[in-house]
Structure 1
Amino acid sequence: MNRRRNVIISLTAAVLSGCLVYGMYKLQRIQIEQQETVEVLVPKRFIGAGERLAESDLTYKRMPQAAFVPEMLVDSEQAAGKETIIPLGRGEPILNWKVDRYYLQPKRSESTFQIPKEYIRSISNGIRAGDKVLLYASGDASPSTRLFDEAVLVSSVKTSGNLEIDDVENPNLLSLAEGDKEQMYASRRDANGMIEYLNLNLTEAQWLRIDGLCKSGETKLVVAYSPESLDLPAPEEANAP
């Protein structure tokens, strides 16, 4: 009887010892994985371009530390409430440039200025809100020149009736977000209305230069559509302080 009891005790001790060793192994493995991986924010489902992200759409996923890049979001507060610039796949790490809260808002260093009609000599009718434009100074007394090296962002383009110029069925901004260049081209062709009011996001120095050149009436602006409009924006960078 004692021998049987000793065998049972030995087997129980072996099982407990094995469980303890296995538990220590699992604990060490988890610790190693946590040291070598990082939690990043991912969507729970496919998110289309232009959708506003909610907390319920987001979850976390562990990925190797070696694959992590600084553009990946790691906190739900960095994405919740923002709009998607391009579609996001389920379980795909969310990069900061793929979402934005206020894409057409000016940067911290900028303000939105409405360009007076008398300041403009010509403007491309293909320009839409969200586009990048190049500004040129044109006058009879001096040679034409490009005002700024960089293109500037168009905040809004409106008709005399204060209506935003766009194709209602296929908005240009949505096509831009989805990277659909063919639909962007079509929306520019199909939109009706003559541009009367142009609002640009400019720094104070840029506006003062425009105003100083154009208020006398001798020099006017030529506003040209820029191919930079086809490049996807980097919203987090654009709205950074």
Structure 2
Amino acid sequence: MRRGSSLWLSLTAAALSAALVYGLYVVQRDQLEQQETVAVVVPNRFIAAGERIEREDLELRRLPVAAYTLDMVSKIDAASGMEAAMPLGKGEALLSWKLNEHYLHPRTGESTFQIPREYIRSVSNGIRAGDRVALYASGAEEESLRIFPEPVIVASVKSSANVEVDSLKQSHLMSLVESNMEGMYAARRDANAMIEYVNLNLTEAQWLRIDRLCKGGSVKIVIAYSPESYDRMKNAREAKREGEGRERDE
């Protein structure tokens, strides 16, 4: 009987020891995981909204793994050359939704084409650089049609004096990068001149299609403001609010 009790006590003690060792292992593992860090990209100076981010403006800083989120940028090359969609503080982790592509610059496979004035029937007075516009073909005899299913990006709109058409009080482009819909609306209302020249970012195939349609003179282009520009700004502002909410929660 005594032998049985002794054996039982030995087994119980061994089990308790094993449980204690395993518990210590779990605690130490959790502590090590919390102490582990990951490299994220941070600005080494304050960067204003709309400013282009250069490689020398960025550096890597290590954060605890527990503080890392999936929207943090981890590679300098991923942020270099982008635009700040909002002010970026020195040393704060760079979040992907706070960055904009340099969208006035033509993308790979595109070039910036100035549309000849004789090709244009009408231009929406409200369009500004950075907008997305829809292009329509209009002719006296031919049936009117939309030239491309997707909108194209406006690189610039110029007056007869070769000055960018914009509001003198509130820059449309600055309102766009700051997701300031009220400022964007005001900038569209207050223009410093009439639009005379429109530059669009187009692929070669897109430009050749426009040229084929219009060079005979019977068909001209109607350039219309696309609501996608507004929708993109609205989405950017909502993303900004969500990001600010996440930062407050953290």
Question: Which range, TM-score by smaller chain?
Answer: 0.7 to 0.9
Residue 185 (structure 1) aligns with: 185
Give the SS at the match of 1:107. coil
Residue 121 (structure 1) aligns with: 121
Query: Are residues 227 and 110 of structure 1, via their aligned partners in 2, closer, same or farther at CA, if it must alter by over 3 Å?
Result: same
After TM superposition, give the deviation of residue 28 of structure 1 in Å. 6.5
Whether contact under 8 Å (2:41, 2:73) holds in the other structure is yes
Whether contact under 8 Å (1:114, 1:197) holds in the other structure is yes
Query: Are residues 89 and 160 of structure 1, via their aligned partners in 2, closer, same or farther at CA, if it must alter by over 3 Å?
Result: same
Query: Cα deviations across residues 116-173 of structure 1 (Å, max 9, x unaligned)?
Result: 0111111101111111100001111122111111100000100111111011331100
Query: Are residues 73 and 148 of structure 1, via their aligned partners in 2, closer, same or farther at CA, if it must alter by over 3 Å?
Result: same
After TM superposition, give the deviation of residue 51 of structure 1 in Å. 3.0
Query: Are residues 141 and 59 of structure 1, via their aligned partners in 2, closer, same or farther at CA, if it must alter by over 3 Å?
Result: same
Q: Which protein, 1 or 2, shows the higher relative CO under an 8 Å CA cutoff with sep ≥ 6? A: 1
2:102 corresponds to 1:105: no
Whether contact under 8 Å (1:47, 1:87) holds in the other structure is yes
Query: Cα deviations across residues 67-108 of structure 1 (Å, max 9, x unaligned)?
Result: 643x542133443564312334663432176144x3311011
- Which residues of structure 1 form unaligned runs of 5+? 1-24, 235-241
Aligned residues, how many? Answer: 208
Query: Are residues 112 and 80 of structure 1, via their aligned partners in 2, closer, same or farther at CA, if it must alter by over 3 Å?
Result: closer
- Which residues of structure 2 form unaligned runs of 5+? 1-25, 237-250
For residues 59 and 68 of structure 2, what CA distance do their matches in structure 1 show? 20
Residue 143 (structure 2) aligns with: 143
Deviates more, 1:88-97 or 1:106-115: 88-97
For residues 72 and 128 of structure 1, what CA distance do their matches in structure 2 show? 31
Query: Are residues 203 and 38 of structure 1, via their aligned partners in 2, closer, same or farther at CA, if it must alter by over 3 Å?
Result: same
Residue 158 (structure 1) aligns with: 158
Give the SS at the match of 2:39. strand
Whether contact under 8 Å (1:166, 1:172) holds in the other structure is yes
For residues 105 and 45 of structure 1, what CA distance do their matches in structure 2 show? 25
Whether contact under 8 Å (1:79, 1:99) holds in the other structure is no
Identity of paired residues, percent?
52
Residue 195 (structure 2) aligns with: 195
Residue 94 (structure 1) aligns with: 95
Runs of 4+ in 1 over 6 A off after TM superposition: 25-30
CA RMSD of aligned residues (A): 3.2
* TM-score (structure 1 length as normaliser): 0.73
Query: Are residues 217 and 96 of structure 1, via their aligned partners in 2, closer, same or farther at CA, if it must alter by over 3 Å?
Result: same
Whether contact under 8 Å (1:88, 1:94) holds in the other structure is no
Residue 33 (structure 2) aligns with: 32
Whether contact under 8 Å (2:43, 2:57) holds in the other structure is no
Whether contact under 8 Å (2:79, 2:99) holds in the other structure is no
After TM superposition, give the deviation of residue 42 of structure 1 in Å. 3.2
* TM-score (structure 2 length as normaliser): 0.71
Query: Are residues 166 and 81 of structure 1, via their aligned partners in 2, closer, same or farther at CA, if it must alter by over 3 Å?
Result: same
Structure 2 letter corresponding to 1:157: V
Whether contact under 8 Å (2:175, 2:181) holds in the other structure is yes
Query: Are residues 177 and 156 of structure 1, via their aligned partners in 2, closer, same or farther at CA, if it must alter by over 3 Å?
Result: same
For residues 65 and 136 of structure 1, what CA distance do their matches in structure 2 show? 52
Give the SS at the match of 1:161. coil
Query: Cα deviations across residues 22-43 of structure 1 (Å, max 9, x unaligned)?
Result: xxx99966753476x5322234
Query: Are residues 96 and 173 of structure 1, via their aligned partners in 2, closer, same or farther at CA, if it must alter by over 3 Å?
Result: same
Structure 1 letter corresponding to 2:216: S
Query: Cα deviations across residues 189-236 of structure 1 (Å, max 9, x unaligned)?
Result: 1112111110000011111111000000111101000111121499xx
Give the SS at the match of 1:141. coil
Give the SS at the match of 1:212. helix
Residue 21 (structure 1) aligns with: none
